[in-house]
């Protein structure tokens, strides 16, 4: 048993009438991590989340939550914001929030106590007696978020968390999510839009066509996929730069933009970035120098290509 992990998915298989949605997928989610479940549309992410939430059952494999096979009582410890979200349109906001909180096992009194500060914090106090259909989309999303976290779950699962939210709400949500992690919650993000979560996640699983492609700590993965590519922003003669580069460095590209000129340079195996800086100092004036890290998108594409 993994004492560290809050959730462990073990060799899960799920078939839908001849089509395999998940094929032997496993993943371990460390406690208080922000875990990214990444992959293109149709890869099987939502199916996996539904299995974790016990909405659908796997054909094979197990889900271990807090060291035991997951059961009905555990739903009170999980908060799930599904990709397809919605509320009862004709029901009043406050009543609905109370109802959903009670379904998660809170007493009416506790639910009331906890909802109040959230409604104040999100400036939703005046919405309490309104019907959901009277709210704007952004307002309804806030309500939805509050109902997802109101029971203070230890595991929070967000499917496509930021799709449909406006940038202001996205920031608000990110802050709240980070705050919850600080308080001990574990978060799973699932998305096909890898750029939207890569700065938040510390662990990821990449799935494609029902299979796990790549898994682990995001820094390790980046390390594995680093390209030894550097970018330098400089002032001076670009010809001088290209002529003055030592053999172990290759100029990949030169471009000019608002901040000045920039060059992309790869270094041959064995060479060090320090050597490149020394070399550059002799031939140009460096304004900025940084390593070009592969984006999750790049890594994903590369992983898929390698896999094939």
Partner 1 sequence: MSKTSLIIKREYLTRIRKKSFLIMSILGPFIFAAYVLIPMYFATLEDKEEKTVVVIDESTLFTEYGPEGPHCVLPETEYLKFKIIEGVPLESYQAGFDATGYYAVLFIPQNILASESSILYSTRQISMDVSGHIRSAMEQELEHLKLAAHDIHNIEEILAEVETSVNVRNIKWTKAGEAEESNTGVVMGVGYMGGLLTFFFIFFFGSQVMRGVIEEKTSRIIEVIVSSVRPFQLMMGKIIGVGLTGLTQFAIWIVFSILLIAGIGTAFFPELTRTPTEQVVASDLFSPGAVTPDPGTTGEPAEIAGNAGGDAEEQAMGTEAGIPEAGGGKITGDEMGLAGEIFASLRTIDPVVMILSFLFYFIFGYLLYAAMFAVVGSAVDNETDTQQLIWPVILPLILAIYVMISAINNPDGSLAFWFSLIPFTSPMVMMVRIPFGVPWWQVALSASLLVATFLGMTWVAGKVYRTGILMYGKKTSYREIWKWLRYSS
CA distances in angstroms from 308 to 221, 226, 302, listed in the order given:
19, 20, 10
User: Which of the residues 205 through 244 are near partner 1 (CB under 8 A)?
Assistant: none
Determine, following the binding rule CB under 8 A, whether residue 62 of this chain makes contact with partner 1: no
Which burial class, exposed, middle or buried, applies to 296 when counting CB atoms under 10 A from its CB (0-12, 13-18, 19+)? buried
Determine, following the binding rule CB under 8 A, whether residue 168 of this chain makes contact with partner 1: no
Mask for 21-50, x = binds partner 1 (CB under 8 A): -----------------------------x
Region binding partner 1 by CB under 8 A among candidate stretches 140-148, 224-232, 252-260, 263-271:
140-148
Determine, following the binding rule CB under 8 A, whether residue 56 of this chain makes contact with partner 1: yes
Query: Which one of 23, 24, 32, 102 is in contact with partner 1 (CB under 8 A)?
Result: 102
Report the alpha-carbon distance of residue 197 to residue 194 in Å, rounded.
6
Determine, following the binding rule CB under 8 A, whether residue 80 of this chain makes contact with partner 1: yes
Report the alpha-carbon distance of residue 194 to residue 222 in Å, rounded.
14
Mask for 104-123, x = binds partner 1 (CB under 8 A): x-------------------
Report the alpha-carbon distance of residue 15 to residue 82 in Å, rounded.
21
- φ, ψ dihedrals at 246, nearest 5°: -75, 170
Please, what is the minimum distance in Å from the beta carbon of residue 273 to partner 1?
Answer: 48
Q: How many residues bind partner 1 (CB under 8 A)?
A: 32
Determine, following the binding rule CB under 8 A, whether residue 86 of this chain makes contact with partner 1: yes
Nearest to 52 by CA among 197, 158, 191, 163: 158
Query: Which one of 19, 41, 57, 68 is in contact with partner 1 (CB under 8 A)?
Result: 57
Query: Which one of 25, 29, 100, 149 is in contact with partner 1 (CB under 8 A)?
Result: 100
Within 10 angstroms of residue 84's Cβ, the number of other Cβ atoms is: 7
Determine, following the binding rule CB under 8 A, whether residue 147 of this chain makes contact with partner 1: yes
Determine, following the binding rule CB under 8 A, whether residue 90 of this chain makes contact with partner 1: yes
Angle at CA of residue 137, ends 134 and 143, nearest 5°: 80
Rg (CA), the chain: 24
Query: Which one of 89, 116, 272, 278 is in contact with partner 1 (CB under 8 A)?
Result: 89
Nearer to partner 1 (CB atom), residue 29 or residue 101: 101
Nearer to partner 1 (CB atom), residue 75 or residue 261: 75
Residues that bind partner 1 (CB under 8 A): 16-17, 50, 53-59, 72, 75, 78, 80-82, 84-91, 99-100, 102-104, 144, 147-148
């Amino acid at each position: 048993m993994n004492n560290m992990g809050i959730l462990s998915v073990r060799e899960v298989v799920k078939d839908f009438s001849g089509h395999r949605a998940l094929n032997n997928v496993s993943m371990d989610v460390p406690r208080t991590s922000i875990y990214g479940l990444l992959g293109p549309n149709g890869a099987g992410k939502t199916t996996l989340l539904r299995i974790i939430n016990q909405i659908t059952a796997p054909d094979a494999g197990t889900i271990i939550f807090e060291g035991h096979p997951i059961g009905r009582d555990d739903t009170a410890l999980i908060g799930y914001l599904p990709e397809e979200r919605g509320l009862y349109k004709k029901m009043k906001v406050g009543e609905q929030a109370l109802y959903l909180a009670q379904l998660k096992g809170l007493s009416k009194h506790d639910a009331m106590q906890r909802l109040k500060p959230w409604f104040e914090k999100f400036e939703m106090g005046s919405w309490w007696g309104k019907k959901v259909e009277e709210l704007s989309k952004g307002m309804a999303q806030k309500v939805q978020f509050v109902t997802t976290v109101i029971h203070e779950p230890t595991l929070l699962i967000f499917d496509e968390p930021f799709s449909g939210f406006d940038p202001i709400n996205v920031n608000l949500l990110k802050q709240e999510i980070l705050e919850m992690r600080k308080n001990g919650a574990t978060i799973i993000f699932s998305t096909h839009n890898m750029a939207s979560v890569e700065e938040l996640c510390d662990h990821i699983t990449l799935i494609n066509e029902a299979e796990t492609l790549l898994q682990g700590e995001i820094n390790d993965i980046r390390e594995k996929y680093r390209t030894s590519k550097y970018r330098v922003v400089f002032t001076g003669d670009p010809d001088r730069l290209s002529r003055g580069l030592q053999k172990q460095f290759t100029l990949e590209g030169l471009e000019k933009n608002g901040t000045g000129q920039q060059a992309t340079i790869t270094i041959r195996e064995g060479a060090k970035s320090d050597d490149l800086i020394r070399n550059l100092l002799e031939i140009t004036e460096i304004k900025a120098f940084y390593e070009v890290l592969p984006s999750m998108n790049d890594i994903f594409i590369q992983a898929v290509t390698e896999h094939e």
